[in-house]
Amino acid sequence: MSAGDRLTELVDEVFRLADAFTRAGDAIVKEDGLTSSRWLTLGAVAHGPLSVAAIARRRGMRRQSAAEAVAQLEASGLVVRRPDPADARAPLVALTERGREVLDGIRPRRRAWAEQTAAVADARELEAAVLLARRLRERLDSPAP
């Protein structure tokens, strides 16, 4: 089997894995009334306010998906929009105190899930998988040779 065939097989598996991660994330945050997409959006602004476009870039989401998640989180009182002094057209999205509390409550469940799920591999395998995924993403994000 050629490297291209193996990469195609990997891509297919990664898509299935992404779907499985989404389902797992939905289960982790279900009791908080969230979805994986909304959780990703909350996490994106956990370290400071961002525009919707910046949230989408940081989390690898479509801008429309990020905007929908922000609207739902805002309606739930978990984020607020504030004017961006650098760009009046694109407000910044920031966590509310309630949003911070929800994220803090999710953290222990996420850690427990991660420890349990990581048991299928040793630390070296996981590190190699992360490095390969990062190199592939960087290659795809760079201009074609």
Please answer whether residues 73 and 29 qualify as being in contact, where contact means their C-beta atoms are separated by less than 8 angstroms: no
Q: Which residues contact 1 (CB under 8 A, 6 or more apart)?
A: 9
The model's pTM: 0.87
Cα–Cα dist 41/29, whole Å: 13
Tens-digit pLDDT profile for residues 18-74: 999 999 999 999 999 999 999 999 999 999 999 999 999 999 889 999 999 999 999
Tens-digit pLDDT profile for residues 85-139: 888 888 999 999 999 999 999 999 999 999 999 999 999 999 999 999 999 999 9
Closest to 43 (Cα-Cα) out of 83, 14, 73 = 73
Q: With H, G, I as helix, E, B as strand and everything else as coil, classify residue 122.
A: coil
